[in-house]
Structure 1
Amino acid sequence: GNSQMGATIVDALDTLYIMGLHDEFREGQEWIDKNLDFSVNSEVSVFEVNIRFIGGLLAAYYLSGQEVFKIKAVQLAGKLLPAFNTPTGIPWAMVNLKSGVGRNWGWASAGSSILAEFGTLHMEFVHLSYLTGDPVYYNKVMHIRKLLQKMDRPNGLYPNYLNPRTGRWGQHHTSVGGLGDSFYEYLLKAWLMSDKMDTEARKMYDDAIEAIEKHLIRKSNGGLTFIGEWKNGHLERKMGHLTCFAGGMFALGADGSRDDKAGHYLQLGAEIAHTCHESYDRTTLKLGPEAFKFDGGVEAVAVRQNEKYYILRPEVIETYWYMWRFTHDPKYRQWGWEATQAIDKYCRVSGGFSGVKDVYSSSPTYDDVQQSFFLAETLK
């Protein structure tokens, strides 16, 4: 990005280690030791800094045992704590690393915080308390969970917006894609991370998934299973690229699901994987659009120009990976290889890889950004 904080270096460290690129890993470690400085007068996203920086540093620490990564993660987490100084304890979306002043995005439903942001801190913060012996991090995220448990949920669904001043939901918009996605993922992974002892997280996950299946998951006229978005009592028949991670999530959560429904959730994961593969296969570049519709004869295709881009996102490949692990059906490896070839053909540039602005164009233009999650997630 535009900052000098080295997001790609930090976010991709564990990928380097897993790939056996230890010289490059040590180079990244040296840069972090000498140059990664959090005393900058910079406003950052609490969520993005947590998943990309703290998550990246903790992963590098657990893989390598190098203390510098733990030290930097704890330093940075301390800079995020002022974001929790709200009347409810629900953190602001952004915080200034120097001043500690927090605020929310101007566009977010009357000053609300966002479910996928304040709900995607749990794993890293639990590990920070485990590593430091300081319960402050654990207490912050458990307070968020307790507050969410007490709240009424319309139709059993979690709205994407919650006001940190009043503790009330904002606009009744529920999504398993952007604004909601990783909240559900972290509930499931909190349970797995606890060696399946955190039954509270599992219950929250199961309850949420049941409501999502009842209200958001539908079959298109062409037989494609999709996950729509709930907006003020109305189902929008549109699915985002971000939502495609849910196929893998359903498969991952199949073991331990209620009422012996493991087979059901594995099948649901397979259906979502198929739909997301179709969203790729129906483009010129064989890369998926940012969002695609199931409406008026349109099936798994982007309609609006501002939804036709691909920014090196990992969610579809992630679902292929999980489905391969759980079923060993070779088609998932084939689909992953097809996506890899398309990325190499259409996104590779002299300085790395770039997103493309229109996956339906035979002569795509670049957005000139290599997102840190490309190396941290997509390639992994």
Structure 2
Amino acid sequence: MSYQGRPFAASPFQDNRSRSNQGLAGLGVSTGQAGLSGKVGGFFDNNDRTLPMYKDKPYFTPKRTAPRRRWRPLLVLGVCVLTFLWYYKSSMPLWPGSDSSDKGAELWKWAQTLDDESPSKERVDWNARREKVREAFIVSWEGYERDAWGSDEYHPVSGQSKNMIDGGMGWIIVDALDTMMIMNLTTQVRHAREWIATSLKYNQDHDVSTFETTIRMLGGLLSAHYLSTQYPNLAPIADDDVGAVGEDLYIEKATDLGDRLLGAFESPSGIPYASVNLNKSEGLPSHGDGGASSTAEATSVQLEFKYLAKLTGEAEYWKAVEKVMEVVDEQKPQDGLVPIYIHPKSGNFKGQNIRLGSRGDSYYEYLIKQYLQTAEQEPVYKELWDESLLGIRKHLLAFSKNAQLMVLGERPNGLDENLTPKMDHLVCFLPGTYALGATSGRPLAEARKSADWSQQREEEIFISRELMKTCWATYLATATGLAPEISHFILDSPPVMMEDKYPDPKSPSEAASPHELHSISQPLSPQADGSEPWRKDIEIHNMDRHNLQRPETIESLFYMYRVTGDEIYREWGWEMFKAFIKHTAVVEKEESELADGEATTRRIKGFTSLSNANTIPPTTRDNMESFWMAETLKYFYLLFSDRDFISLEDHIFNTEAHPLPRFKPTGDLKTGWQRKPKPVKAAEPAEAAE
């Protein structure tokens, strides 16, 4: 996205930054009362928001006064010199590395051996593979440090960078922060933390995306706070220790940002505006789409604000995002499927376009994740999730013509019109989310033993496996082994739907058995001549051949492995990772002086998205997406890690892959709405008596 900077103005929050120091226990929950009574119905009264900043201690611990000593100036001077030297060293670009070895050169040498790699009969060393992912992250980060430190956008081929708005948003640094913690990269975390403490501000007089800022920046800060306090052995920083003067840095930044983002929800309906001016805390409607907001964006900010409410004890955050879910449900979506636009003024849907790709995807993702985030204490979101799964099954799931690949299509003109067999890469989040919802993150073998396991859940696992295979096929279908942005599929006419093969059962006894479900599943067996039937089912249009380093497929592989324990998902992930290394690496040459002349060495300095992933060599776009380090590499790393590391049973990942804890809501943090009864359909006229 592109932003044009405007002059700064005085922040309306400047008089509200010094707040009472309230005691917070555990993760920092305050005992302050919500400041929203009487406002949610309205929705908010203008200029009437006062949120006591969470504080469990002064930011700087005051020192007692003492008699003046003659040596104190020298001590202060010495401390200043040491601080300057530390700051200078920590701020220096890390390339060619703080280690004794050059990771970029090592990774390039390793990449030259990938074509020779053959399946090993010995046990795979997943720790070694995980370390390769860590090295790829280090190379990506060091290139950014050297060429673009502090910038929001990084173009690794040209070495150029820029900010989206004046002063920057911390787009790359904050987004990648918890990945560095998870990978235990202490030096890199220290450098990022210093920049956040001294340079990150959210008072720019400019509009930014409400959704993107919430999931990337607010989510990134909240996750960093959580990991730094609950996993002290991961990239430990002294200032993050309990009682240290800087312990609260991330949550203070998050609270300031959350306060400003709340202005987006001050619409007549409570549906957030697409953009928000951070300086004024003022929501702004979309410049296109008739001012409508994306449904997915409006309904994919709940995890972040609910956790912020948990940390601060301020119910205002909770109620603002909860109101959105109530308004959406009041529109009575047909079969649980929502159009992709919604008006902030009226709360009504715009159009009839139904899809789980862009502008529709994470609405469904956050239904089940809200239920799991609050320890399954909010059953309304599970109910909405189950309804949407039935709608997906009935209207969107079809099978390809030749290989019976399961296809998740679109209904651009409404559920009563034709199915379009098109899958954005974005929809590949769904296989993993299906598996997560079926078992709540538990291992499948364990979940199957539980009293609430059913044939419906068994079918959800089947669907997750089949959709996962289709997403993997889109990677195999290109020359580089990297999926295009959009894939089209060849279906029968009329299309064979899931409902046709397996009608929606009226009772558990009528549901298809696991054997019946898996009878149509076919492996993606390679053929020497490339004549596999499934290849005939996939079409890649010229305008859709780009690869943006997206994380959705590796995200689902991560969930599928954690839930099923099937090693095939790790192996698919490894093949994907190798393809990224081989085809998206930005390689630079260095001339070295030797006694007998010049020699050329090569090293990888970063990774870039592609304009065309279906040709070798691929065409590059010269852009590293922030989610390359925030999501894609993180999910690779977690896929190759032990199952219990950042476990699914204890955590929920937001749609930008920022892990947050599950918790039980208390006090005012609870579901504050109930679903309204659906209109009763008119009874069918009775048949005439014979």
TM-score relative to the length of structure 1: 0.96
Q: Distance in 2 between matches of 1:67 and 1:306?
A: 46
- The structural deviation recorded for 1:101 is 3.7
Q: Tell me the secondary structure at the aligned position of residue 631 of structure 2.
A: helix
Name the one with the larger helix percent: 1
Deviation by residue 1:250-308 (Cα, 9 ceiling, x = unmatched): 111112688542221111111111001110001000000001001379523322x2211
What amino acid does structure 1 have at the position aligned with 2:618? P
Matched residue, 2:539 = 301
2:374 pairs with 1:215: no
2:407 is equivalent to residue 203 of structure 1 = no
- 1:59 matched residue in structure 2: 223
2:283 is the counterpart of 1:29? no
Selected match of 2:356 from 169, 176, 180: 176
- Name 2:256's counterpart in structure 1: 75
Specify the alignment match of 2:616 in structure 1: 362
- Secondary structure, in 3 states, of the residue corresponding to 1:236? coil
Deviations 1:313-363 (A, max 9, x none): 000111111111122222111110111011111111154211001111112
1:336 paired to 2:566: no
Aligned-partner residue type, residue 362 of structure 1: I
From 445, 460, 477, the equivalent of 1:282 is 477
Shift of 1:155: 4.3
Q: Does 1:255 align with 2:509?
A: no
Amino acid at match of 2:470: T
Q: Is the 8 A contact 1:275 1:300 kept in 2?
A: no
Amino acid at match of 1:86: S
Alignment of 1:134-149 (within 5 A): 134-149=314-329
Q: How far apart are residue 103 of structure 1 and its match?
A: 2.5
Please name the residue that 2:625 is paired with.
371
Query: Which residue does the alignment assign to 2:406?
Result: 225
Flag the 1:236–1:319 CA change in 2: closer, same or farther, 3 A. Answer: same
Partner SS for 1:323: helix
Counterpart code for 2:198: K
For 1:296 and 1:105, how far apart are their aligned partners in 2? 36
Q: Which amino acid aligns with 1:240?
A: D
- Supply the AA of the counterpart residue of 1:119: T
SS in 1 for 2:255: helix
Aligned-partner Cα distance in 2 for 1:217–1:107: 30
Identical amino acids, percent of aligned pairs: 37
Separation (CA, whole Å) in 1 of partners of 2:283 and 2:490: 40
Q: Does 1:311 align with 2:548?
A: yes
Partner of 1:234: 418
* Match among 153, 171, 178 for residue 7 of structure 1: 171
Q: Secondary structure at the match of 2:563?
A: helix
Matches of 2:539 and 2:561, distance apart in 1: 25
Structure 1 segments unaligned to the other structure (5+ residues): none
For residues 40 and 126 of structure 1, the distance between their equivalents in structure 2, rounded to whole angstroms, comes to 25
Structure 1 residue 78: deviation in Å?
1.1
TM-score by length of 2: 0.53
State the AA in 1 paired with 2:419: L
Q: Distance in 2 between matches of 1:198 and 1:260?
A: 23
Deviation digits for residues 150-181 of structure 1 (CA, Å, limit 9, x no counterpart): 21223442111111112211011111121111
Displacement after TM superposition at 1:104 (Å): 3.1
Name the structure 2 match of 1:320.
557
- Contact (CA 8 Å) 1:206, 1:258: kept in 2 or not? no
* Alpha-carbon distance in structure 1 between the residues aligned to 2:285 and 2:471: 32
How far did residue 144 of structure 1 move? 0.7
Q: Equivalent residue for 1:103?
A: 284
Q: Which moved more, 1:19-28 or 1:152-161?
A: 152-161
The CA distance in 1 between the partners of 2:557 and 2:491, in whole Å, is 28
Cα deviation digits, residues 192-247 of structure 1 (max 9, x gap): 11111111111111111111111011111121001111111331110010000100
| Aligned 1:260-279 pairs, distance under 5 A | 260-279=455-474
Q: Could you say what secondary structure the match of 1:98 adopts?
A: coil
Letter in 2 for 1:361: T
Larger radius of gyration: 2
Output the CA distance in 2 between the equivalents of 1:32 and 1:258.
46
Distance between the aligned counterparts of 2:333 and 2:208, measured in 1?
30
Aligned match of 2:243:
none
Which amino acid counterpart does residue 271 of structure 1 have in structure 2?
A: E
Distance 1:155 1:123 in 2: 24
| Alpha-carbon contact 2:335-2:387 (below 8 Å) kept | no
Cα distance in 2, alignment partners of residues 342 and 38 from structure 1: 38
Contact 1:279 1:301 (8 Å CA) reproduced? no
Q: CA deviation at 1:188?
A: 0.7
Alignment of 1:116-131 (within 5 A): 116-131=296-311
Q: Is the 8 A contact 2:490 2:539 kept in 1?
A: no
Deviation string 1:81-134 (CA, Å, 9 cap, x unpaired) is 1111211010111112123343333332x2211111010011110011111111
Matches of 1:364 and 1:119 in 2, distance apart?
A: 36
SS in 1 for 2:611: coil
Higher relative contact order (CA 8 A, sep 6+): 2
The offset of 1:5, in angstroms, is 1.8
For residues 390 and 171 of structure 2, what CA distance do their matches in structure 1 show?
Answer: 36
* Structure 2 alignment gaps of length 5 or more: 1-152, 154-162, 230-246, 441-451, 493-535, 588-604, 635-690
Tell me the distance in 2 between the aligned counterparts of 1:21 and 1:219: 45
CA distance in 1, matches of 2:288, 2:612: 25
Letter in 2 for 1:302: I
Distance 1:307 1:104, change over 3 A: farther
In 2, Cα distance between equivalents of 1:127 and 1:242 = 25
Instruction: Supply the AA of the counterpart residue of 1:80.
Output: L
Backbone CA RMSD of aligned residues = 1.6
**What's the secondary structure of 2:614's corresponding residue?**
coil
